[in-house]
């Protein structure tokens, strides 16, 4: 499946078809991250039921140092 | 106590978390500052380097309230998007609305800031807009229902101190919500002056992170904010033009 994550086009294995699986794929399941799918924020408790589709634009963001 | 919306803080110093030489120095500086509110930015994660250390993970989140900013936003729409992302973390509902209108001075765009603040208030955020030291804008921000106003002392990261103390005092005098002086503070004297002018708090970052000894400076800022606040509450003597002896004029041995 072709998706764009954080502005980078990439190919995901077909088994990675849920937001929760995407996080596991990148070893992020324990991290404080916030996910946006096509500009729609995906609530944490919906990660396991939110389906990824070809062409999705995904943002994976977190908190960094700032003033 | 500093009261922002539903939250109460003993410390009146809010600390930014950017640009420290190392996480260890930063952690020690945060401890030394006594701050209970820490600001953060929201950015894309480097997903190919998930083990990269993150300062947030080193903090006991029971001890601190997070104040994410919308830094990087140039429009209300962008600021709202960042604010929503930060709230979706489930870790915070305060937001520092920061919409930059000028890349050279990093001064905020007042129109977009107001727009973003209005939307975020409707969505239930605790809203703290970063603004220039504009007296009328500060009033409008308050009238909108914002939980604090955060005028800058001078442009972000300049360490120029308080450029216009008169404006800042006009703002603190009229305000019914906390005024937190945010940006431009360089020295402990600047922080103390902000508090003496009636600010309820000071938010700073570079003044500590870019000091030669950030940990010592964090402590200096803590003390300066406390001293300035005490001085404000104590009420300073009026200035006068000519000298006034402190020792009695009567009873001199040679009279």
Q: Quick: pLDDT tens for B224-253.
A: 999 999 999 999 999 999 999 999 999 999
Instruction: Tell me the C-alpha distance between A18 and A58, whole Å.
Output: 12
The pairs formed by A18-26 with CB atoms below 8 angstroms and a separation of 24 or more are A18/A47, A18/A48, A18/A49, A18/A50, A18/A51, A18/A52, A19/A46, A19/A47, A19/A48, A19/A50, A19/A52, A20/A47, A20/A48, A20/A50, A21/A52, A22/A52, A22/A58, A23/A47, A26/A60, A26/B47, A26/B48, A26/B50
Q: Does B54 touch chain A (CB under 8 A)?
A: yes
CATH of the domain at A46: 3.10.20.30
Is B199's pLDDT higher than 80? yes
Mean pLDDT over B137-148 rounds to 98
Instruction: Tell me the C-alpha distance between A17 and A1, whole Å.
Output: 8
Instruction: Tell me the C-alpha distance between B233 and B240, whole Å.
Output: 21
Q: pLDDT at position B211, please?
A: 97
Residue A67 lies in a domain: no
- Contact yes or no for A67/B158 (Cβ under 8 A): no
Q: pLDDT at position B154, please?
A: 96
Q: Quick: pLDDT tens for B206-221.
A: 999 999 999 999 999 9
Q: pLDDT at position B162, please?
A: 97
Q: Quick: pLDDT tens for A49-60.
A: 999 999 999 999
Q: Does A15 touch chain B (CB under 8 A)?
A: no
Q: How far is CA B255 from CA A29, B119, B151, B243, B245, in A?
A: 87, 75, 56, 21, 17
Q: pLDDT at position B255, please?
A: 76
Closest CA to B202 of B170, B224, B180: B180
Q: Quick: pLDDT tens for A24-36.
A: 999 988 889 999 9
Interchain proximity B41–A63, CB inside 8 Å? yes
Label residue B110 by pLDDT band (50, 70, 90). Answer: very high
Q: pLDDT at position A29, please?
A: 87
Q: How many domains does chain A contain in total? A: 1
Q: pLDDT at position B55, please?
A: 87
Q: Give me the active site residues of B, please.
A: 96
Range of weakest confidence among B24-38, B53-67, B117-131: B53-67
Interchain proximity A34–B41, CB inside 8 Å? no
What CATH superfamily classification does B2-234 receive? Answer: Aldolase class I (3.20.20.70)
| Disruptive mutation site among B39, B47, B92 for chain A (greatest number of A CBs within 10 Å) | B47
Interchain proximity A61–B41, CB inside 8 Å? no
Cβ atoms within 10 Å, residue B227: 15
Q: pLDDT at position A51, please?
A: 94
Beta strand A2-5 with B65-68 is unpaired
Q: Does A4 touch chain B (CB under 8 A)?
A: no
Instruction: Tell me the C-alpha distance between B149 and B141, whole Å.
Output: 7
pTM comes to: 0.92
Nearest to A67 among B18, B51, B56 (CB): B18
Is B51's pLDDT higher than 90? no
- Contact yes or no for A64/B57 (Cβ under 8 A): no
Is B57's pLDDT higher than 90? no
Q: pLDDT at position B49, please?
A: 82
Q: Is the dihedral of CA B54, B59, B62, B65 positive or negative?
A: negative
Mean pLDDT of chain B: 95
Q: Quick: pLDDT tens for B75-94.
A: 999 999 999 999 999 999 99
Instruction: Tell me the C-alpha distance between B253 and B143, whole Å.
Output: 63
Query: In which domain, by residue range, is A21 found?
Result: 2-62
Q: Does B40 touch chain A (CB under 8 A)?
A: yes
Residues ≥6 apart with Cβ < 8 Å to B100: B71, B72, B73, B74, B106, B107, B108, B109
Is B118's pLDDT higher than 80? yes
Residues ≥6 apart with Cβ < 8 Å to B178: B2, B3, B4, B147, B148, B149, B200, B201
Q: pLDDT at position B93, please?
A: 95
Instruction: Tell me the C-alpha distance between B117 and B100, whole Å.
Output: 14
Q: How far is CA B198 from CA B174, B206, B212, in A?
A: 10, 22, 29
């Amino acid at each position: 499946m072709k998706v764009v994550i954080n502005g980078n086009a990439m190919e995901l294995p077909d088994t990675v078809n849920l937001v929760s699986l995407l996080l596991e794929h990148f070893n992020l399941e324990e991290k404080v991250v916030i996910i946006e799918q096509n500009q729609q924020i995906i609530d944490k408790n919906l990660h396991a039921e939110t389906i990824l589709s070809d062409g999705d634009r995904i943002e994976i963001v977190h908190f960094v140092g700032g003033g | 106590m500093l009261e922002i919306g539903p939250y109460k803080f003993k410390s009146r110093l809010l600390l930014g978390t950017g640009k420290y030489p190392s996480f260890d120095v930063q952690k020690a500086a945060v401890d030394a500052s006594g701050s209970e509110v820490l600001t953060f930015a929201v950015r894309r994660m480097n997903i190919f380097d998930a083990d990269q250390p993150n300062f947030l993970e080193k903090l006991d989140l029971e001890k601190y309230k997070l104040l994410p900013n919308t830094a990087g936003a140039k429009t209300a729409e962008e600021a709202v998007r960042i604010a929503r992302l930060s709230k979706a973390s489930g870790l915070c509902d305060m937001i520092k609305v920061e919409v930059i209108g000028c890349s050279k001075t990093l001064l905020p765009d007042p129109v977009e800031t107001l727009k973003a603040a209005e939307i975020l208030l409707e969505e239930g955020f605790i809203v703290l807009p970063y603004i220039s030291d504009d007296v009328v804008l500060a009033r409008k921000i308050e009238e909108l229902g914002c939980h604090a106003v955060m005028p800058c002392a001078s442009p972000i990261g300049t360490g120029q101190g308080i450029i216009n103390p008169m404006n800042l005092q006009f703002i603190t005098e009229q305000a019914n919500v906390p005024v937190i002086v945010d940006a431009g503070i360089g020295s402990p004297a600047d922080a103390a002056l902000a508090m003496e002018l009636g600010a309820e708090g000071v938010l700073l970052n570079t003044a500590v992170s870019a000091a030669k000894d950030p940990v010592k400076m964090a402590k200096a800022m803590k003390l300066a904010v406390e001293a300035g606040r005490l001085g404000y509450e104590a009420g300073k003597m009026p200035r006068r033009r000519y000298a006034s002896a402190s020792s009695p004029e009567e009873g001199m041995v040679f009279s």
